[in-house]
Amino acid sequence: MAKLPGPLEIYPLLPGTNCKECGEANCMAFATKMAEHTVKLEACTPLYEDPKYAKKLVKIEELVTPPVREVTIGVGEFAASIGAKLVLYRHDLRYTNPTSFFLDVPDNLDSEAFAKRVKEIEDWTYMYIGTNLRLDGIALRGVSQDPQTFAKAAKNLAGISNWPIILCSLQPEMLAAGAKAIADKRPLLYAATLDTWAEVGEIAVRHNLPLVAYAPGNLDNLATLTNTLRAMGVEQLVLDPGTASKSGLGSTVNNFTQLRRSAIIKENELLGYPLLAAPIAVWADHREGEAPELTKWDEVLTAASLIVRYSDILILHSADMWTNLPLTFLRSNLYTDPVKPVAVEAGLQTFGDVDADSPVLYTTNFALTYFTVESDIKQAGVTTYLIVIDTEAMSVQTAVAGRKLTAEKVAESLEETGIADKVNHRILVSPGMAARISGETEEASNWTVKVGPKDSSGIGKYLQEGKWKEE
Ligand code: SF4
């Protein structure tokens, strides 16, 4: 397996001036974070700006380039970065750059239907543990087979949306027209094949755009195509080994697995590029009169199989809540850092039109704890202040046991949130699981601590009956 560089290998290649431009205390701290993959090399600006570090820059870029390179589609805040994969198994470190979901828009829709479809894609969202799950980009399909129509649709799309775009056509003339129209939006070109590599490769080089190499069902052909495009000077490549549904899904999954194993375990840098899957292909099998739900089910199954088998980007057709919800949940769970519990921001939260008589509760910043408490307070319908304490994303019981939730910390949080200026009482409701620190908390804070329910499900009744005010 590709060996990930440690801080002692990275450090000698940094300028060594400890200038703090990167936001770290010194070069060693930056090297440590580089080794943990929590900062990017670009943050060390002197390395790029001062010509005397040119040799070091070449060496360090070589050292820290991941076995699967990173490719960026689009520009600005909505740009999608895919790839940059470091490990085959998530438990070895973590997965980076969650699989991007691009949904198709045909180029031959009338302008009203076109805008409606784009809005449908952009508006799809679902709130999950404090994160807005959403789709990532738009795949413009050259259904018209007409370069002018395709270029016009690309221009229109870039005008009404900031989202990253894939230009989809196997005809070089179509891609040439689309790329010329919106090259400044840095679209991904889909795709160069064994028949069209010369023309399409030239378009990618001319506009400096990322390009998909497409060789369905034959990994040797895909490697040859990739090698040829690299030799032409295409720098940012994405590999598509073909997506077959139903009876072919097993071999598709095998191909994706082999490609990723080759890149990370065998260190075959020729195949070290992000992988594209096209579950939309299932719609080619859809027959008129068949229930579309069955085809959508096929698409979800194909997409799910390939999300867990290393696809970095998907092209999908279905935009229903029920089709994308399981896929975005799956992606979210797979790409959550396994060693880092999910946290919410610490601080003061308010529910309803709080006033000086509202109760004051506290909890921890572990996402699952917080959202359970939040939901119970909302259901109670009682205006409430909730102080969220940073316990390094530990639940109440664990945080108390591990001394991450202490009386001093609660007192500090009361101080920091300025809650004493907002209410005319000094009663703090502690979680039932933090009962054992309630006495210490009273001493540290000078607030009266009332121990609330052990289980968050009791909060609603507790608040509604005003138990926190009882003597
Ligand atoms: S910006 Fe570069 S040179 Fe300056 S402290 Fe950070 S790593 Fe060192």
Domain CATH number, residue 266: 3.20.20.20
Provide the CA 272 distance to its chain's centre, in angstroms: 20
Based on the domain organization, do 202 and 329 belong to the same domain? yes
- Output DSSP code: residue 275: B
Q: How far is the CA of 18 from the centre of ligand 1 (A)?
A: 5
Contacts of 29 (CB under 8 A, 6+ apart): none
pLDDT more than 90, % of the chain: 86
Per-residue pLDDT at 440: 96
Based on the domain organization, do 224 and 352 belong to the same domain? no
| Residues spanned by the domain of 46 | 7-64
Q: Are strands 165-168 and 137-141 parallel, antiparallel or unpaired?
A: parallel
One-letter identity of residue 411:
A
Point out the ligand 1 atom lying closest to the alpha carbon of residue 15.
3
Per-residue pLDDT at 353: 96
Average pLDDT over residues 260-269: 94
pLDDT at 98 exceeding the cut of 90: yes
Provide the CA 46 distance to its chain's centre, in angstroms: 29
Based on the domain organization, do 441 and 314 belong to the same domain? no
Q: Which of 334, 360, 388 lies at the terminal end of a domain, its last residue? A: 334
Strand partners, 315: 102
Structure tokens that stand for 51 in this block = 């010509």
**What's the mean pLDDT when you consider all of the chain?**
94
Is 339 part of any domain? no
Per-residue pLDDT at 2: 59
Is 352 part of any domain? yes
Q: Which of 280, 299, 334 lies at the terminal end of a domain, its last residue? A: 334
Based on the domain organization, do 166 and 93 belong to the same domain? yes
Per-residue pLDDT at 368: 86
Q: How far is the CA of 61 from the centre of ligand 1 (A)?
A: 15
In this prediction, residue 159 has a pLDDT band, given cuts at 50, 70 and 90, of: very high
Is 1 part of any domain? no
pLDDT at 466 exceeding the cut of 90: yes
The alpha helices in 217-279, defined as continuous H runs, are 219-232, 249-264
Structure tokens that stand for 276 in this block = 């594209």
Q: Are 463 and 377 in contact (CB under 8 A)?
A: yes
pLDDT in tens, 217-243: 999 999 999 999 999 999 999 999 999
Separation of alpha carbons 312 and 324, rounded Å: 16
Separation of alpha carbons 267 and 408, rounded Å: 51
Provide the CA 320 distance to its chain's centre, in angstroms: 20
Q: How far is the CA of 142 from the centre of ligand 1 (A)?
A: 47
Among residues 172, 181, 99, 102, the alpha carbon closest in space to that of 140 is found at 102
End-to-end CA gap in the chain:
65
Per-residue pLDDT at 90: 82
**What Cα–Cα distance (Å) separates residue 14 from each residue in 27, 47, 61, 218, 392?**
7, 7, 11, 42, 31
Based on the domain organization, do 117 and 242 belong to the same domain? yes
Per-residue pLDDT at 245: 72
Q: How far is the CA of 267 from the centre of ligand 1 (A)?
A: 30
Point out the ligand 1 atom lying closest to the alpha carbon of residue 43.
1
Find the CATH number of the domain harbouring 451: 3.40.50.11600
pLDDT in tens, 178-200: 999 999 999 999 999 999 999 99
Based on the domain organization, do 171 and 55 belong to the same domain? no
When computed from its CA atoms, the radius of gyration of the chain, rounded to whole angstroms, is 27
Is 438 part of any domain? yes
Based on the domain organization, do 373 and 465 belong to the same domain? yes
Point out the ligand 1 atom lying closest to the alpha carbon of residue 25.
5
Angle between helices 438-445 and 407-417 (to 10 degrees): 40
Based on the domain organization, do 304 and 360 belong to the same domain? no
Find the CATH number of the domain harbouring 17: 1.10.15.40
Among residues 289, 455, 464, the alpha carbon closest in space to that of 363 is found at 455
Q: How many CA atoms lie within 13 A of 188 on its CB side?
A: 33
Average pLDDT over residues 388-394: 93
pLDDT at 3 exceeding the cut of 70: no
Q: Is the dihedral of CA 9, 10, 15, 17 positive or negative?
A: negative
pLDDT at 26 exceeding the cut of 90: yes
Q: How far is the CA of 79 from the centre of ligand 1 (A)?
A: 27
Q: How far is the CA of 65 from the centre of ligand 1 (A)?
A: 19
Is 165 part of any domain? yes
Q: How far is the CA of 14 from the centre of ligand 1 (A)?
A: 7
Q: For ligand 1, atom 8, which residue shows the shortest CA distance?
A: 27
- Of 26, 27, 42, the residue with max ligand 1 atoms within 8 A of its CB, to mutate for a pocket test, comes to 27
- Of 10, 11, 24, the residue with max ligand 1 atoms within 8 A of its CB, to mutate for a pocket test, comes to 24
Is 341 part of any domain? no
**Is the backbone peptide bond immediately before 80 cis, with ω within 30 degrees of 0?**
no
- Of 22, 45, 49, the residue with max ligand 1 atoms within 8 A of its CB, to mutate for a pocket test, comes to 22
**What Cα–Cα distance (Å) separates residue 352 from each residue in 344, 359, 379, 467?**
20, 12, 11, 19
Q: Which of 21, 48, 64 lies at the terminal end of a domain, its last residue? A: 64
Average pLDDT over residues 138-159: 98
Sheet with 347-351, side-by-side order of all strands: 347-351, 384-389, 360-364, 427-430, 448-451
pLDDT in tens, 337-383: 777 778 888 999 999 999 999 999 999 999 889 999 999 999 999 99
Separation of alpha carbons 395 and 164, rounded Å: 38
Is 284 part of any domain? yes
Separation of alpha carbons 429 and 427, rounded Å: 7
pLDDT at 1 exceeding the cut of 60: no
pLDDT at 21 exceeding the cut of 90: yes
Based on the domain organization, do 379 and 277 belong to the same domain? no
**What Cα–Cα distance (Å) separates residue 226 from each residue in 66, 73, 233, 394?**
18, 19, 11, 46
Based on the domain organization, do 215 and 89 belong to the same domain? yes
Average pLDDT over residues 261-275: 95
Average pLDDT over residues 103-117: 97
Point out the ligand 1 atom lying closest to the alpha carbon of residue 47.
2
Separation of alpha carbons 340 and 427, rounded Å: 33
Q: How many domains does the chain have?
A: 3
Q: For ligand 1, atom 7, which residue shows the shortest CA distance?
A: 27
pLDDT more than 70, % of the chain: 99
- Of 34, 44, 57, the residue with max ligand 1 atoms within 8 A of its CB, to mutate for a pocket test, comes to 44
Based on the domain organization, do 328 and 460 belong to the same domain? no
Strand segments (E) across 37-154: 70-73, 80-83, 100-106, 125-128, 131-134, 137-141
Based on the domain organization, do 143 and 49 belong to the same domain? no
Point out the ligand 1 atom lying closest to the alpha carbon of residue 23.
6
Q: How far is the CA of 21 from the centre of ligand 1 (A)?
A: 6
Provide the CA 66 distance to its chain's centre, in angstroms: 18
Per-residue pLDDT at 412: 96
- φ, ψ of residue 315 to 5 degrees: the values are -110, 120
The pocket around ligand 1, CB under 6 angstroms, is made up of: 14-15, 17-22, 24, 26-27, 30, 44, 46-47
Is 421 part of any domain? yes
